[in-house]
């Protein structure tokens, strides 16, 4: 090992701080900006990702489902989830394979 080498026994750097949660109006404006950026040519940073029907489907989902549950999504995303892992060993009884067929009698071909 080298002397004074980076990473030897040193703890990993802390993760960057989480961004402040956006209010519902801020989140909606952010979604609108992304939809426009990815559906209208000539918008700064444009990447042609969404067709007209994609925009309609996305907008419908955002306004009828996502924003109605925004606080729930925000809570779930901001809090660590505990892992409840259960394991079980399963045994499956199966029939034995059939025995091989007897050899043909001498003088007969199969």
Q: Does pLDDT of 110 surpass 80?
A: no
56 token code pair: 């309609």
Burial 78-110 (b: 16+ CB within 10 A, else e): eeeeeeeeeeeeeeeeeeeeeeeeeeeeeeeee
In this predicted model, which residue has the larger pLDDT, 47 or 93?
93
Which tens digit of pLDDT belongs to each residue from 55-90? Answer: 999 999 999 999 999 999 888 888 777 888 889 999
- Using CA atoms, how far residue 102 sits from 48, 66, 98, 107, in Å, is 70, 68, 12, 14
CA angle 3, 6, 12 (to 5 degrees): 140
């Amino acid at each position: 090992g080298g002397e004074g080498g980076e990473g030897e026994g040193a703890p990993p750097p802390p993760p960057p701080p989480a961004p402040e949660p956006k209010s519902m109006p801020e989140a909606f404006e952010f979604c609108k900006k992304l939809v426009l950026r990815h559906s209208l040519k000539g918008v700064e940073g444009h990447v042609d990702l969404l067709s007209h029907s994609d925009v309609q489907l996305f907008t419908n989902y955002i306004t009828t489902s996502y924003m109605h549950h925004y606080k729930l999504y925000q809570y779930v995303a901001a809090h660590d989830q505990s892992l409840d892992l259960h394991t079980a060993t399963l045994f499956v009884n199966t029939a034995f394979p059939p025995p091989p067929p007897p050899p043909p009698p001498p003088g007969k071909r199969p």
